[in-house]
Each structure stands twice: as structure tokens, then as C-alpha cells.
């Protein structure tokens, strides 16, 4: 099933509840929350208080991507705030399997994230533990970046591994995903599509979400 995980990083924060409602009306089924600490990536965004504020305004799953150092310290707070899915960067985790288990122990679905320069093989020992693998198709830190074409082969590689290992993790992709790139990532095997700039636009958010999903599902 192809799902749109709309990234609130591109939304109008002054009307966030309305923005989430419009993206949901257009068919979005996951709220993607980009958490940045200014250390692991060169930007600062949201923390658990924002997740807690969003939780009462939507019944959709809250998908929190932790682009932060020392994620273990913050996993309990995201669980308490109402997160449903938490993904961590392989590059930021000293003991990755312990971190993924901590996410699961707090009642959330664990995901692992790889940056563009990180080999897919780095994930081989934890693929059986995760609900989803998030492939970054830009270098993380800012919205609105241009899609890196090599990401398509990385997604296809993860799909082959899923088949060979008999696993059922989902494949999520984030970065530069728009109407002109979505078909290629879906054809490669992605089924959770993170999009922000392509969705949130004054007066057009619902329409953009609907059109985006139409293109994505046609490619599947």
C-alpha cells in the first residue's frame, strides 16, 4: 500500500492543525515530524512538546524522524508525547540494536534511517528488528532540496534484501519527493513517501496531496 507521510516541516506553523487537516483530506495517512537538534544536522526544528501539541488534533500515526545525537535520551519523551513511529539514524547510534529495542519497549514502531553516503549493507544486522527503513534521498537538515538519483538503486536494493531475507519491513523515502520523482521511487519499491514542499501550499494542500498520491499509485 502506497502511503503519503506528509512532512509538517513545510507547513504553516501558525495554522498547523488546519494544515494537517487539509493534507489528511487529500489522502495523507501519516504525519511526518522531522526532529533536528542543530548538532547531527545543521538545523533546529521540533521536539516532544510539538508532538504532544499535534497529538490531540489528528488520529493519524505520528512518524518522528530523529536527526539528533544521543537519541536514546529522548525516546521516552517522544513516547510520552504520543509518537507512534520513531526512526533513528544509523550514523548517530553507537548501539543500534539497543536503540531500536528501546523504541519498541516504549510501544512505538522502530525505524532505521540511512543518509545518502551510508551503504545499505550497514543495516544488514538490524533489518529483522525494524518496521521501516527510511532512505534519505537528500542530505538531511533542510526541506526543499533536490532529489539524489542514486537513491532509486538504494531503494531497489532494500526491496531485494526484503525478498531474499523473507522480511516485511516497509521502505520509506524522504527528500526531494515530488510529482516528477515519485514514480521512480515507487517503481523501485518505496511504499511510505515523505513529502513536504510538494504538498503544503496555500489554498492547494488538499489538491496537491490528492494529485501526488494519484501519480504514486499509478506507478505501483
Q: Provide the CA 215 distance to its chain's centre, in angstroms.
A: 19
Model confidence band, residue 71 (pLDDT cutoffs 50, 70, 90): very high
Number of domains in the chain: 1
The residue segments making up the domain with residue 109 are 3-219
All three cell numbers of 75: 525516546
Give the tens place of pLDDT for each residue, 174-189: 999 999 999 999 999 9
Q: Is 174 a catalytic residue?
A: yes
Query: In this structure, what CATH number is given to the domain that contains residue 87?
Result: 3.20.20.70
Tell me the percentage of the chain whose pLDDT exceeds 90. Answer: 88
Minimal CA–CA distance to 106: which of 131, 136, 86, 130? 86
Least confident of 31-35, 36-40, 58-62, 204-208: 36-40
Contact 131, 110 (CB under 8 A): yes
Q: Please identify which of the residues 34, 37, 63, 84 carries the catalytic annotation.
A: 34
Q: Is the pLDDT of residue 113 over 70?
A: yes
Q: Is 63 a catalytic residue?
A: no
User: Residue 7: which H helix or E strand, with range?
Assistant: strand 3-7
Q: Please identify which of the residues 72, 174, 180, 191 carries the catalytic annotation.
A: 174
Q: Is the pLDDT of residue 141 over 70?
A: no
Only one residue has cell 548501539, namely 95
Q: What is each CA distance from 110 to 35, 99, 134, 149, in whole angstroms?
A: 15, 9, 11, 26
Contact 183, 2 (CB under 8 A): no
- Mean pLDDT of the region 143-163: 92
Amino acid at each position: 500500500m502506497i502511503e503519503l507521510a506528509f512532512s509538517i516541516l513545510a507547513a504553516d506553523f501558525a495554522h498547523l492543525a488546519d494544515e494537517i487537516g487539509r493534507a489528511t483530506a487529500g489522502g495523507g495517512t501519516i504525519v511526518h515530524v522531522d526532529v533536528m537538534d542543530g548538532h547531527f544536522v545543521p538545523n533546529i526544528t521540533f521536539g516532544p512538546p510539538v508532538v504532544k501539541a499535534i497529538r490531540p488534533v489528528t488520529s493519524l500515526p505520528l512518524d518522528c524522524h530523529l536527526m539528533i545525537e544521543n537519541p536514546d535520551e529522548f525516546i521516552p519523551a517522544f513516547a510520552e508525547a504520543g509518537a507512534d513511529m520513531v526512526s533513528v539514524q544509523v550514523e548517530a547510534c553507537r548501539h543500534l540494536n539497543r536503540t531500536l529495542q528501546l523504541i519498541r519497549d516504549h510501544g512505538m514502531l522502530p525505524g532505521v534511517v540511512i543518509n545518502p553516503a551510508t551503504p545499505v549493507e550497514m543495516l544488514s544486522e538490524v533489518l529483522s528488528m525494524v518496521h521501516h527503513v527510511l532512505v534519505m534521498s537528500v542530505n538531511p537538515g533542510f526541506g526543499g532540496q533536490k532529489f539524489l538519483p542514486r537513491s532509486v538503486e538504494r531503494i531497489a536494493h532494500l526491496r531485494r534484501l526484503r525478498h531474499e531475507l523473507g522480511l516485511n519491513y516497509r521502505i520509506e523515502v524522504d527528500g526531494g519527493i515530488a510529482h516528477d520523482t515519485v514514480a521512480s521511487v515507487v517503481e523501485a519499491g518505496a511504499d511510505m513517501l515523505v513529502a513536504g514542499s510538494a504538498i503544503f501550499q496555500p489554498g492547494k494542500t488538499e489538491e496537491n496531496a490528492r494529485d501526488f498520491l494519484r501519480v504514486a499509485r499509478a506507478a505501483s
